[in-house]
Chain A
Amino acid sequence: MNIFALTGSLTIEGLRETGRMANFAGRGALSGILGPFYWRAFFSSLMRIGFTSLPVVGLTAVFTGAALALNIYDGSLRFNAETFLPQILSVSIVRELGPVLAALMVAGRCASAMAAEIGTMRVTEQIDAMSTLAVDPYKYLIAPRIAATTLALPILVLIADIIGIYGGYLVAVYGLDFSGPVFIRNIAEFIENRDTISGLIKAAVFGFLIAVMGCYYGFRSRGGAQGVGAATRTAVVAAAVAILASNYVMTSFMVEF
C-alpha cells in the first residue's frame, strides 16, 4: 500500500470512528433525556464516580497548589512581582489546573472502570441479556453514567479549586512569610465570576467526554479478556486526549469572550 492510500484509509477510518462515537454519545445523552431515567443506577454511578474520587482529586489539588505557589514565587522574584502570587495562583488553579488535573485523575479512575465493567458485560452477553429483558442498555448503562460524570466533575473541580488554593496558601503563609488575611483578600478581590464559571463549564464538558469514552470503548469491546483490556487502555488514552484537546478549544473561546 502506498503512502497516499495509507493516509486516505487512516483518515477515512478516523472519521468513521469519530462519527460512531458522536452517534453513541448522542444516543446515550438522548436516552437519558427521553427516559425512562434509571435513578438508582444514576445515584450509584454518582457515588462511585464523584464521592470515591474525592481523596485522589484532593491530594492532587493540594500538592499541585503547593508546588505552583513555590514556582510562581520563584519566577516572579526575578521582576519583583512576588506580591502577585495569590492572584496568579488562584487564576491558574480555577481556570486551568483545577479542571484539567481533576479530569485527568477521574479519567484514570473512572473511564477505565467504566470500560472494564461495560466491556465485561458485553463479552459475557450481559448486555444482550438486558436487551432480551426489555431494558435498553443505552438507558440503563450509558445515560446514568454520562449524567453522573457530567454532574460530578464540576462539583469535584469546585472542591479541587478550594483545596488547591489552600495548598498554595499553606506554602505562602508558612513557608514564604505571606500574610494570611492579605493572601485571601487579594484572591477574593481578583477572582471574577467568569473565572470560576469557565472552569466549571470545562469540568462538565470533561465529565461528559470521560463517560462517553469509557462507555463507548467498553460497549464496543470484543473477544474476551484481551478485548476488555484493550478497551480499558484505549478508553483512558482517548479520554485524556479528549480532555486536553477540548481544553484548548474551550480556552481559546473563553479568553475571547
Chain B
Amino acid sequence: MTETTPAISVRDLHKGFDSNQVLRGVDLDVNTGRSLVVIGGSGTGKSVLLKCIIGLMRPDRGTIEVDGRNISRHTESDRRYMTRMTGMLFQGSALFDSLKVWENVAFRLLNAEKKSRKAAREKAIECLGQVGLSPEVGDLQPAALSGGMQKRVSLARAIASDPQILFFDEPTTGLDPIMADVINNLIVDRVKALGATAVSITHDMASARKIADEIAMLYQGRIIWRGAPDEIENSGNPMVDQFVHGRAEGPIKMAVRKS
C-alpha cells in the first residue's frame, strides 16, 4: 500500500432493505495503519456499512476500494481478495460451537490454507497466547467459555492469518467495563503489532476513545462528523454532542411512542 492510496475508500455508498434506506451516500477514507471507529446509534447502519465493506452484503450503489482495487462489484475474485487481506471480530463472537477453541482459531489455516493439523494447532496456541489465553483453553468447546473469553478467542481467530485490515463489530458489547477495557487493550496491542488498518463500529464511547486514531459518526445513513478522539468533546456538532453525552433530549429523536 502506498502513502497516497487509502487502505479503504468508500464513495457514495447506498444500501436499503425494501422501503428502508439504511445507507444514503456514505463517503469514508481510512488510511493505511490507522484505526477508524465509526460510532452511531442503534439502527443507523453501522453493521450494514461494515458488511458492505467486507463483502458480506452487496451495496445498491456507490464504490468501495480496498488498497486501490474496486471490490464493490462483489465478484468471486473480489471476495477472495478481501478474505485474503482481512480479519473480523463479530459482535457475538460467532465461534463455531461444534469445533474446539483451537480449531476455531485455526479454521482458516486448516480449511482454506490447508495447513497440517499440527502446524495449525501450533499457530492457534500462539495466537491464543497473544490474547492472554493459556494453551489448555484450546481444547475446550466455545460453550465452556465466558463472554469475555469468547471475544478473545474471536480476536485470536481474526489475527491468525496476519491480516492487513481488521474489522471489529461492537467488540465490547455485553462485557463488563473491566473486561471491555481488556479487550480494548488487546485490540490496540494486536493492531499495532500487525501494523494493520482497523475499522471498528461501536456505540461504546470509552471503547471508541481507547482504540481510535479517528472517530466518524454515522447518522441517517451518512457520515456527519469526523475527527480525532480528543476533538469529539468539542465537535461543534449538536448531534455528535448529544450522542457522546448520551442525552435523550437533542436533535436526534428516538422513535418512542408515548402512552
Please report A residues at the B interface, Cβ cutoff 8 Å: 36, 38, 117, 121, 124-126, 128-135, 140
Contacts and interface: CB of A to CB of B under 8 A. Distances in A.
Given A128-B51, A134-B84, 13 more contacts: A36-B114, A38-B111, A121-B96, A125-B91, A126-B95, A129-B90, A131-B56, A131-B83, A132-B86, A133-B111, A134-B80, A134-B108, A135-B111
Contact of B94 (A38, A117, A125, A135): A125
A210 to B, nearest CB: 20
Interface of B: 51, 54-56, 79-80, 83-84, 86-88, 90-92, 94-98, 107-108, 111-114, 157
A130 B108 CA distance: 8
Contacts of B91: 125
Contacts of B95: 126, 129
17 contacts: A117-B98, A124-B94, A125-B92, A126-B97, A128-B90, A128-B94, A130-B107, A131-B55, A131-B83, A132-B56, A132-B88, A133-B83, A133-B157, A134-B83, A135-B107, A135-B108, A135-B111
Q: Select the residue from B87, B111, B114 with max chain A CB neighbours within 10 A.
A: B111
Contacts of B92: 124-125
A36 B91 CA distance: 29
Contacts of A135: 107-108, 111-112
Contacts of B83: 131-134
B145 to A, nearest CB: 15
A54 B2 CA distance: 61
Given A125-B91, A126-B95, A126-B96, A132 B54 contact: yes
A36 B90 CA distance: 26
Nearest to B96: A126
A218 B111 CA distance: 22
A222 to B, nearest CB: 11
A128 B56 contact: yes
B94 A140 contact: no
A125 B80 contact: no
B90 A133 contact: no
B67 to A, nearest CB: 17
Contacts of A125: 90-92, 94
B200 to A, nearest CB: 15
B92 to A, nearest CB: 6
B56 A133 contact: no
A73 to B, nearest CB: 49
A252 B30 CA distance: 63
Nearest to A121: B96
A125 B86 CA distance: 17
A126 B94 CA distance: 5
A129 B112 CA distance: 13
Contacts of B111: 38, 133, 135, 140
Contacts of A131: 55-56, 79, 83
